[in-house]
Amino acid sequence: MNVAVTQTIEGEFAMNNNIKSNNKALFTLDEDASEIKLHCPISMPDASGFLWNNNMMLQMNCRGYASAQHMQPEPAKYSYGQSIEAKTFMQPEHHYHASHPGRFFYIKVDDQHLFSLPYEPMRVSLDKFEFFQGTNNIGWRITQRGLHVEIKVKLAENDAIECWEMSVINQSHSQIKVDIYPCFSIGYTSWMNQSACFDESINGIIANYVTPYQKVEDYYKNKDFLDTTVLMTNASVLGYEAQLKAFEGEGGLHAPSALKQKKLANSVALYQTPVAVLHHQIVLPSAKEHNIKWLFGPAKNVEHANTLKKTYLSNTSSDKQDFVKPPAYLFSTQDKVFDNFVNTWLPRQIQYHSQSNRLTRDPQTRNFLQDHMASVLISPSHAKTHFLFALAQQHSNGAMPDGILLHPDAELKYINQIPHSDHNVWLFIFLDAYLQHSGDVNILNEQVGFSDLPTAHSVYEHLKLAAEYLYSQLDHRGLSLIQQGDWCDPMNMVGKEGKGVSFWLSLASAYAFGIFASIAKIQGELADNAHWLSRKTQLNDAVNQQGWDGQWYARGICDNGRIFGVAADKEGQIFLNPQSWAMLSHASKQQDLDLIFTAIDNKLKTPYGIAMLAPAYTQMDADIGRVTQKFPGSAENGSVYNHAASFYAFALFKEGFADRGYEVLRSMLVDNDDALVKQQLPNFIPNYYRGAYYQYPEVAGKSSHLFNTGTCAWFFRCVVELMYGITKTSTSIKINPCIPSHMLPCSVEFKAFGQAVNIHYESRTDIEDLEFTLQNASISNHMSAPEIMLDGSQNKALISVYIPTTEIKDSPQRAENVQA
C-alpha cells in the first residue's frame, strides 16, 4: 500500500498540470446546461455543488467534503466535525480541512492498490476526474486502475436523507477484485452520549446520540430530535468500522490502518467519536458493471430508519421525481455563459431561496421579501402567499419586524436581535415587482391582520401605514434614522444613540414613496398619489442638499454629526448603494450621473465586479461600527457584494444604460477565464467576491462560496423586466427592452396567460422607433411599450421586436418614471 501513499505525495500537482498543460477548460457544461462538470479536484479545491429539499440542504465540495443541515425545526446536523462546533448562521468562505465531515469511498483494487474517491482523504492522483453538479444531483465520474466509477447523490423530496449510488465498470481486459469502503463522517455528535454500531435490520451503521442540553425545558424541546445518524445499503456487508479512531489507527484518514487488513475489525463506538465505514467486495469481470446504493441521514430510531430504507432503498425507488422545477423562461443570446446561468442555474438558486428560506426559521425580513420577490416571475401565487404571510407580521404602527417568524415557536436569533431600520422598504419593492409581473391589482384589496392586532386591513392600508412609519423615522434634517443598521447589517454604530442617519435609507424610502404613489394611482387614491410623490421629492431634496459630496452621494451621518462615505474619508470614501438608489429614486440629476459613473469606475470597479465600498476599512471606526472590523474586502467591508451590485445593475437598466447594466450582471457570473480567480463553478452567484482590489489584489475576486444572497431576484428582474423589458398587466404583456447591442439578436420563450410566447429581438438600421410584430403582423411602431393582448388563439405567440440601431447606446435619456 506504500505505492498509493507515495502517489499521494508525488502526484500532488499531476492532475493540475494535466489540466494546465492540455489547456483544457477547467469546467464544461452539457449542451443544455443541465450539468456543470469540473475536470480537476485541485485547481479549485473549494468548488462545490448544493442540493436541497423541503427539509435539508447538502453542499458537497468537489473533493468529497460535505456540509449538511436539516430542519428539526431549527437547523441541525447529522454529520459533524470532530470538535464541539458552535451553532452559527451559514458563513462565507467555509474552511475545509483534514477533519472536515465528508462522504468518502476508499477503493482497493486487487488487494493492492488503495485510493479514495472522490479525492479526499487520500488525495491519490486519478487517471480521470469529473465532478458534476446537475440540477437534481451531484456526482463524480472517475477512471482509475481500470475502473470507471460513477458516484451520484440526490436528496429525497421531503425526508432529510441523502441517496447515494455508485456504478463501477471494469474497463480493463481482466477481472478485477474491488473492495469498496464507503466512509461517511458522523463526527463528535454529543458530549452527553454518543455511540455507533452495525445494525443488521437496517444493514448499516447506526449512530445514536443525545443532543446536549442542561435545562429541563430543553429536554422537552429536544426529545423528538432525530438523534440518530444512519448509513444503510442495499449491498452485502463484509465488515464495518463504527469507531473513528479504530478505523484511522496510526495511519490517519489519509491512510487508514484498518484498510491494511483484509477484514475490518467491526469496532463499535462507545462514547467515542463514531464513523460509518462499511466493507463491500465485488469481483468484476471485464466490461461488467456493478451498482450499489446507500442512504445517509438522520433518523429517529431503527424503526424510522427502516421506513426510510423501504421508501428510498427499494429497487423501484431509484428514480425519484426531479425536485428542481423546469425554468419558466428560456433565453437565447450571443453569450452562452449568460444563457446557461439565467436559463438553468439562476432559477434553481431562486427556487432554493424560496423553498429553504436560507435554512432559518426567522429569515431577516428584507431577505424573506427579496428571496420571494424572485417568485413573482415564476410563480406569482407563491409570491403572493409569502408576501401576505410577511405582511401579517407587520406591527399596527406600520413597522415590519426584524425577522419573519415561519412558525409560532420560532424566535428571532442572531442578527434579528439587532434593530434595523430598512425592513419596511422591501414591502414596496416586492409589491411593485408583483404588480409588474402579475398585473394582479386585486392584491391591494386583500385583507390582512397585524402581529399585535387581529383586525384585518387591506394590503393598500398596510402599505400606507408602512410608508407613514418610514416617514415617521425621519430626523429633524428630514433624513432617515438608521438605528443599529439598515440594509448593511454591520453598520451598527452610526445611529446607536438614535441620531445617526442613512442617505441610502433616505433614498430607498424616497423610492418606496414613489412606488406607493403609483400604487395609490392604481387604487384611484389620487390624493395619496400626490401626497407621496411630494414626500418622495422632499426626501430626495433633503439628500441632495445634505448628502451630495460633489462627485457622489455620501453614505450617512453618524450620531456625532460626522458625514461619511465622502471624498474626505481615507477609508470608506465611496459606497455603491447611495449612488444606485439615487438613480432609482431619481434624486440624482442627469448631469451628475457622469460624475457618479466616473467615481464608481475609478474607485469601486474591479475586474470581478463593482465593490460596495472603497477603500475597505482596515481598522475599527467606532462612529460607523462592525462593518469596519470585517476583513478588508470581505463581506460588507468592501467586497464585490453581489446584492449591492445587483441594485446598481437594476438602476442602470432602469435608466437605460444597457451596456453598463449588462457588464455588472455579467461580472457576477463565472466563466472559464476567471474561474481560477473566483474559485467556483457557475452553478450559483455567491453573496460576494473579494473586493479590496487595490489593497489585497492577491485574493481579489475569490468567491465566498455562500449561495445565500438577495442577488437572485434582482438579477432575474434585471433580465426579464428591464433588459428584455417584459412586464404584464392583468390581460396583456408589455415589452420595453434595454438590450446591449452585442447581445442582439436574442430571444426568449415563456408562458403568459396560459399561452406559449416567443419573443425575438433584433436590430434594424432602417427604423427610428421600436417596431413590434405578432405572428408577423405589425402591431405597433412607437417608442413606448405596446400592450400585447394574448388571446391564446395561436399555439404559440410569436413576437418580434425590432430595435433601431440609433436607439442602441449607453447614454440614454432618462426613461420616464413608471411609478409617477
Tell me the C-alpha distance between 75 and 521, whole Å.
Answer: 44
Residue 39: CB minimum distance to its own copies, A:
17
Residue 115: CB minimum distance to its own copies, A:
14
Tell me the C-alpha distance between 230 and 180, whole Å.
Answer: 18
- Burial code (b: 16+ CB inside 10 Å, e: under 16) for 742-773 equals ebbebbbbbebbebebebbbebeeeeeebbbb
Nearer residue to its own copies within complex by CB, 22 or 214? 214
Q: Is 371 a catalytic residue?
A: no
Give burial (CB, 10 Å; 0-12/13-18/19+) of 613: buried
Q: How far is CA 521 from CA 24, 54, 438, 514, 515, in A?
A: 57, 40, 17, 11, 10
Helices (H), 655-746: 658-667, 675-678, 711-717
* Strand partners for 149: 142, 168
Angle at the Cα of 528 (from 524 to 534), degrees rounded to 5? 135
Nearer residue to its own copies within complex by CB, 53 or 267? 267
Tell me the C-alpha distance between 88 and 67, whole Å.
Answer: 13
SS3 per-residue string spanning 766-811: CCCCCEEEECCEEEECCCCCCEEECCCCCCEEEEEEEEEHHHCCCC
Q: Which helix (H) or strand (E) holds 298?
A: strand 289-299
Provide CB contacts within 8 A for 86, sequence distance 6+: none
Residue 190: CB minimum distance to its own copies, A:
9
Residue 414: CB minimum distance to its own copies, A:
6
Residue 691: CB minimum distance to its own copies, A:
11
What is the greatest pairwise CA distance in the chain? 86
Tell me the C-alpha distance between 585 and 512, whole Å.
Answer: 8
CA-based torsion, 649, 587, 636, 69: positive or negative: negative
Residue 212: CB minimum distance to its own copies, A:
8
Tell me the C-alpha distance between 320 and 304, whole Å.
Answer: 20
Nearer residue to its own copies within complex by CB, 154 or 423? 423
Helices (H), 396-496: 425-438, 459-472
Tell me the C-alpha distance between 701 and 543, whole Å.
Answer: 33
Residue 504: CB minimum distance to its own copies, A:
20
Write out the three cell numbers for 797: 405567440
Residue 64: CB minimum distance to its own copies, A:
14
Nearer residue to its own copies within complex by CB, 195 or 540? 195
* The pairing of beta strand 771-774 with beta strand 777-780: antiparallel
Residue 41: CB minimum distance to its own copies, A:
9
Q: Examine residue 745 and say whether the peptide bond preceding it is cis (omega within 30 degrees of 0).
A: yes
Long-range contacts (CB closer than 8 Å, 24 or more residues apart) made by 134-140:
134/34, 134/35, 135/34, 135/35, 135/322, 135/324, 135/344, 135/348, 136/51, 136/322, 136/323, 136/324, 137/51, 138/49, 138/50, 138/51, 138/58, 138/60
Nearer residue to its own copies within complex by CB, 509 or 634? 634
Residue 13: CB minimum distance to its own copies, A:
7
Tell me the C-alpha distance between 61 and 390, whole Å.
Answer: 34
Give burial (CB, 10 Å; 0-12/13-18/19+) of 167: middle
Tell me the C-alpha distance between 88 and 320, whole Å.
Answer: 32
Residue 290: CB minimum distance to its own copies, A:
29
Residue 366: CB minimum distance to its own copies, A:
16
CB 56 within 8 A of CB 70: yes
Q: How far is CA 61 from CA 26, 117, 380, in A?
A: 15, 12, 34
Nearer residue to its own copies within complex by CB, 250 or 319? 250
Nearer residue to its own copies within complex by CB, 419 or 449? 419
Tell me the C-alpha distance between 209 and 194, whole Å.
Answer: 4
Catalytic one of 335, 440, 489, 569: 489
Nearer residue to its own copies within complex by CB, 192 or 456? 192
Q: How far is CA 528 from CA 469, 523, 670, 820, in A?
A: 15, 10, 45, 12
- Residues noted as catalytic: 489
